[in-house]
Amino acid sequence: MDTLVQLLPLIAMFAIFYFLLIRPQQKRQKAVQSMQSNLQKNDRVVTIGGLHGIIDSIDEDKVVIKCGDGSRLTFDRNAVREVRHD
């Protein structure tokens, strides 16, 4: 019984860390993976480097983004940070 009382704060601390840190991070990671797998042509995107553009073509692991001046740049699919809906 005494060891259970000593372990209770440790178990509570692990539970708090899980619900406040680990679980939200896993949810964000799943949302980003879902967004990156559902990319489509003509989506307005922002890359992790801050480049804004429109997807011109998509491959399994690469996207070609058309910039404002008409140039086309190739990025890894993982480099897309968000899809803009404006």
Which tens digits make up the pLDDT trace of 68-84? Answer: 898 999 999 999 999 99
Q: Which distant-in-sequence residues (6+ apart) come within 8 Å of 65 by Cβ? A: 45, 47, 51, 53, 54, 55, 56, 72, 73, 74, 75
Q: Is the pLDDT of residue 2 over 80?
A: yes
Determine the pLDDT at residue 3. Answer: 86
